[in-house]
Each structure stands twice: as structure tokens, then as C-alpha cells.
Amino acid sequence: MREGRPVLNVLEQDLQSFHDIIKFGGVPYERKINSRIVTTWKHVDEMIEAMVGVVSGDLETTCLYPWDKGAAIVTIGIGTRDTQWSIFVHHPESTWTEEDIEKILRRIHEASQDCTMVWHNGKFDVLWLYVQYQVLFAIDFDTMLAHYNVDENSLHDLEYLSSLYFSAPKWDIPLKEKQGGAPAEKIAHYHAHDLYYTRNLYFVLKKKLDADPKTNRIFRQITMKCANAFVMIEHRGMFLDKKKMVEAEKYLREQLAIAAEALKRWGDINWGSPQQVGRLLYDELGIRCPMKTKSGADSTAESALKQIDHPCVADLLKFRGHKQQLSFFIDGWKPFIAGSRLHPVFKLHGTVTGRLSSEHPNCQQIPRDPRIRTIIGAPPGWTLVEADLSQIEMRIAGEVSGCRQLIEVFQRGMDVHWNTVLNELERYVGQAEIVCETARVARLLSRAPGFAEAIQILRDIGPEAAADIDPVWKELRKKAKAVNFGYLFGMQWKKFRMYARDNYDMHITDEEAQQSRIAFFETYPLDKWHNRQKAKARIDGFVRSLAGRKRRLPAAQRGDDSFEEGEALRQAINSPVQSFANDINLMVLLQMREEFPATVYQPVATVHDSILQEVRNDYVERVARRITEVMRQPRLFKDFDINLRVPLEGDVKIGPWGAGVSLSRWKASQ
């Protein structure tokens, strides 16, 4: 079975392909490929004249990163109805000068304004053209992203899709050859296939999108608009404070050396070898192993080590932490820095839920450690502004579940994690001394109030004011956050123990985990919503978000109580929430780019439910206020017929990432 394709469909497709090959004496579509190398201005004129209607575009390049030293475009390809044109740029057989290429590109760009420009992973190609030649093409339709919207579970590469829909043979050539290490004719023949099938996929995938108006709306209004927006976001990149980066690298190397020295007392082994570490910990030191790997071996993963209370393990975790930060966030960044900017790649098709992912480097995994995050800031004359959708998944869960208790929390303007803390304490009259004393100090009372009155005072003052009085409240809210996010989507208590340990450094007993789950569902009775989502997935094989994004879950219909079925049912609950949170974030980003010109406003990244943006100094207050308004009600809500009962809110921080302050504090410092 090929990934994402039922066995029956595969058989039918293969039988049809065999029938077509026999009937036509070969693959029928292959006969229509007409590869031409553009070597004269007459060829250019003919190509421009042929650019009518649907036109495909594609590049071959010497590498993946357009800022690399020596990075160059090998061929520029244009696919028209009858011909696939290849213009060789960086190749021994090229007949064109750089000045010629610039003229040709300007003519192609002008002609493209009256065409539907189709690309496969167009963000890559369009970014390269913009970096190398400062010519910005439109991505009118992207076949990779179109197929992602049609079937997020399947593969999206061009050769696979061409085989799936057109019975195309494999045509790929070795990487070195397509990067310019083969004769022009061979590269052009390869390139012609890319152009031909990209153009033809447009008609197939457009028909599939048109058949599902809600999916088509997501594709047109969000996916394609973001494909064009992220060309500019990746081009801009994230500004790095080089001084802070040098300081962070120096500190981490010093700490790594100290940690390595501390490990020497435990033995002279390769601390990067799981086998050697396992033998030392579990055989020589006699530590009981808390976890096994899938193969049954003693685990030395971080999740296992965090369960061990031993000085050797503490030294090892410090060593690993410093080494990881160096390799991931200092050394790992260096290959992707151009000048003073880091240029990550954002993948609009990176997850099955619709959430963006990123690579080179992965912005979603940059730690909250201010030493690392504050390296990312803004250049002189500009200020970094982070806008974060506040508690967005809990808000969306309240909306889609209809849970009265959860909806009321947000309608009253409360912090949901704070509400969980206080409900838990109120239920068991817990931490009575701390509760009453914090309330007394907050209200400047001569004596502590009663417990019920104190709880109400804490509800009124909120978590920040309580934490200013006693730091224990910050830790209690952190635990409540783990509980909320852990159980929101139906996590069982055994898994919650591991989740809380690995993500929040919380170490709780089995009994505490079981009680926390009971308490959560008493506070927020979400069981009916969970059951509704599972039933829908079992009946339909898919669920949708409030924006209409479809999550296809065929395994939910297996009915065999398998791991795959259980995972699909879990995704039936969390996917619509996570995908809608992401779509709101993207709606905000698109609207802000429309409202503010690039001369004063430049988004540079999205990280989970937040947007990082550089704002010209004289526009900081205006942008901060406006984005707060847009996060509450993006304009696209109207186009998507979205009306929420739960109010949305956003938090804005101004200044280097991880050290930003609120708008009021920022204004006070000016």
C-alpha cells in the first residue's frame, strides 16, 4: 500500500495505467512533452508569445540556500500549453550574459501578469529569483500546497503526484547533474518533465479543490496568500544581535567545559554514546533504569534521565543541555546567516493539522532561555514586536465544545490557568495559609480574611499580582497550565505524568495524576465534546475546524481498537483546535501586512501562536495597538462566516525576543 492511498484505489490506478500504456504503445502523457532550450532572442520572443493562460514556472539551482557563497540558478523554466522552455543561466553551455538574463526575466515577469502562474513549491523558486535578481513573481497556484489541502496525509512531491494522476514514469536525475553537472540537453529533458506535470497537475487539483468549497476557501484565502507572504518573510530574515550571539557562545562553551570536567569524576567514556552511558549508569553505578527503548534496551534518553535522582545524571543533563544549545542554536544557526540575518524556511505543508513548521533552523524549537532568544532583535531604527494569541487553544476548545464553564472563564476576562489553580484549591481547601495571607497583603488588611473570601480576592487580583506577593503562585499556575494542556484533548493520567515531567519539569505520583484528571473534568466537563468528535470521525472519516480546514482520519473508521485508530480519534479532538489557532494567527499576519506598508512593518517569523515582526520605531505604538485589535477579530472571519462566543485576546511584547515588555512599560521607558 502506498502512503495515503487505499489498496483498491492503487489497484484501479495501476490497472488504468497498464491499459493506457498498452493502448498508446507507451505512457500517453510522455508523448506531449516538447522540451526546448532557449538560446536566441527569437526563442525568447516565441516563449513570451506562448505565455498565455496557465503557465508553469520552475528553477534548478546549485544548492538549496540562495544566500550560500556561489549559489546560482542553473536553469529558469517556463511551461506553456505545448512547450517546456529552459533558459540556462549558470551552466557551461549557457549562451546568455547576466545582463541578458535580467532582460529575459523582466520580459517573463511582465508577461506573467496576464497568466495564471503555477509552481510546485513555488516559494522556493520565487524566493531564489528575488534574492538573485530582485524580480518578484506571483505564486497564483502551487500544486504542492494544493495537494496538501486535498490530502494532508499523503506525499506531495511532484514525481509521486505525476505517477498518481498521470501514470508518469520516474524521470529524476542525480542531484549533481540537475545542479549543472550534466549536458544541457539532459537537464532540459528532466526540467521539461517538471514543467509539464506541474502545469497539468493544476487542472486536476483545481477541480478537486472546486469540489470542496470550504477546502478551496482555505487554499485561496490563506494558503496561497501565505505562500506569497512568506517569500518576503524568508527574504527579510530575523535580525541577530551579533554581540549577544558572541556572548552566548562564550558562556555556553565555558559551561560545557565545566560540565565536561564534572563528568570526568564518573569515568572516561564517550558521553555521546548511549551504550557507554547506559553501561556506566545501570551496570557500574547500579542505578535502576526507569524506562526501556522500543528494542528493549535500557534508555538513556532525557525523558528517562529526568526520572533519576543521582549526581552523575545531574551532571550529564547539564552537559547535554549546554551541548545541545551550542549545536542547535549557535553552531546550528551559522550556516544560515547572511550578514546580520538568519533566514529560516517556513513550511506551509509541514504538519497534518495545518500548523506551520520551520527548518534551517527550526524556529519552533528555540528555547525560552533569554540568553538564546534575545539574540533575535531588530536593526537600528526598528523594534521587535511579538504578538501572541493568548491561551488560544483553550479559548477555541471552549468555543467548539460549548463547555459553559470554559466559555464563562473567558467571557469574564479571567486567566484560564489561574482559574484552574483556584478551583483546585477551593475544592480541597488547599494551601489555606498561603491563600489567606496573599489575599491579606493584596488588600492591605489587618487580619487574614476567611478562605472563601480570600479565593475571591485572588480571582480579582489575578496571577501576576499574586506572584508579586508570593512566588509560589507562579509555580502553581505553571502546574495548572500543564494540567489544562495535558487533559484538554483527553490525555490519560499515565501519559500525563510523563508529559508533565518532560514539558514542565513536574514530578507527580500516580495518585496525584489521577486526581488531577478527575479535577480537570469536574472543572471543565469536556467529555461530551470529546465523544462527539470521535463519533464524527468514525462516521465521516474526517473532521473540520471552524475555518473549514479538513482533517482526514481514515484510521478512525477501522473499528479494530488498534493504536492507529486510537491516534486518529485523539486527532479528531485536537486537530480542529490546533489548526484553527494557526489559521487565526495567519489571518492576523496577512491583515497586518495589508494594512501597513513594508517601509514601517515587516513580519519575520511565526512561532506557534505568535508573530514576530520588526516595526519602525515611530510606528511601534500604532502597530502594537492595531495588532491587538486585529487578533480579537481578524477581517477574514467575515469571509469565513466565523462568529465566536469566546472573546479572543492577544499579548504584545516590545523589545528583543524573550525580554520584551508590555506597551505601557515600553511607553514609560521612552
- 134-138: long-range contacts, CB 8 A cutoff, minimum separation 24: 135/105, 135/106, 135/109, 136/109, 136/231, 137/57, 137/109, 137/112, 138/112, 138/228
Establish whether the linkage from the previous residue to 361 is cis, with ω within 30° of 0: yes
Residue 489 lies in a domain: no
Domain contains 460: no
- Reported as a single tens digit per residue, the pLDDT across 192-204 is 999 999 999 999 9
Q: Taking the CA atoms of the chain, what radius of gyration do you get in angstroms?
A: 28
Q: What pLDDT score was predicted for residue 440?
A: 95
Per DSSP, 645 falls in state S
Same domain membership, residue 200 and residue 261: no
What pLDDT was estimated at residue 639? 96
Kindly state whether residue 58 falls inside one of the protein's structural domains.
yes
Q: Where are the alpha helices (DSSP H) in 375-469?
A: 392-401, 404-411, 416-428, 432-443, 451-469
Q: Where are the beta strands (DSSP E) in 120-176?
A: 141-142
Q: How far is CA 273 from the centre of its chain?
A: 31
Same domain membership, residue 262 and residue 131: no
pLDDT at 30 over 70: no
The answer to whether residue 277 is domain-embedded is yes
Whether pLDDT at 486 is above 90: no
Q: Report the CATH number at residue 129.
A: 3.30.420.10
- Three-state secondary structure readout of 77-120: EEECCCCEEEEECCCCCCCCCHHHHHHHHHHHHHHHCCCEEEEC
Q: Which domain holds residue 29?
A: 7-211
Q: What's residue 7's pLDDT?
A: 41
Is there a domain that residue 79 lies in?
A: yes
323 and 361 belong to one structural domain: no
Q: How far apart are CA 206 and CA 224, in angstroms?
A: 13
Flag whether pLDDT at 26 surpasses 60.
no
- Contact of 596 with 619, CB cutoff 8 Å: yes
Residue type, 563: F
- 362 and 335, same domain (yes or no): no
Nearest by Cα to 156 from 100, 105, 223, 109: 223
- Average of per-residue pLDDT across 622-638: 98
Q: What is the mean pLDDT of the chain?
A: 92
* List of residues 6+ apart from 632 with CB closer than 8 A: 647, 648, 649, 650
Residue 25: pLDDT over 60: no
Give pLDDT, residue 64: 93
Quickly count: other Cβ atoms within 10 Å of residue 26's Cβ: 12
Q: Does residue 182 form part of some domain?
A: yes
pLDDT of 18 reads 59
Are 156 and 15 in a shared domain? yes
pLDDT digits (tens, 9 = 90+) for 505-534: 777 788 888 888 888 898 899 999 999 999
Residues 160 and 266 in one domain: no
Domain end: 309, 339, 369, which one?
339
Which H or E run includes 192?
helix 184-210
Cα torsion through 399, 605, 205, 216, rounded to 10:
30
Q: Tens digit of pLDDT for each residue in 55-79? A: 999 999 999 999 999 999 999 999 9
Do residues 32 and 157 share a domain?
A: yes
The CATH number covering residue 616 comes to: 3.30.70.370
Please say which residue of 211, 229, 260 terminates a domain. Answer: 211
Closest CA to 345 of 334, 329, 361, 332: 361
Residue-level pLDDT at 24: 47
Whether residue 254 is found in the same domain as residue 106: no
Looking at the structure of the chain, the number of domains it has is: 3
pLDDT digits (tens, 9 = 90+) for 298-314: 999 988 998 899 999 99
Task: Work out the angle at residue 189's Cα, subtended by the Cα atoms of residues 188 and 193, and round it to the nearest 5 degrees.
Answer: 110
Average pLDDT over residues 428-449: 90
- Asked whether 537 and 356 are in contact (CB, 8 A), the reply is no
- Domain assignment present for residue 521? The answer is no
Query: 109 and 26 in one domain?
Result: yes
Q: What is the average per-residue pLDDT within 373-398? A: 96
612 strand-pairing partners: 386, 605
593 close to 409: Cβ distance less than 8 angstroms:
no
Residue 647 above 90 pLDDT?
yes
Please provide residue 174's backbone torsions phi and psi, each rounded to the nearest 5 degrees.
-55, 150
Question: Does one domain contain both 593 and 627?
Answer: yes
* Domain-embedded: residue 300: yes
Instruction: Judge whether residue 27 has pLDDT over 70.
Output: no
Instruction: Report the CATH number that the domain containing residue 308 is assigned in CATH.
Output: 1.20.1060.10
Q: Are residues 78 and 151 in the same domain?
A: yes
**Same-domain pairing of 43 and 80:** yes
Confidence of residue 325 (pLDDT cuts 50, 70, 90): very high
pLDDT score of 22? 57
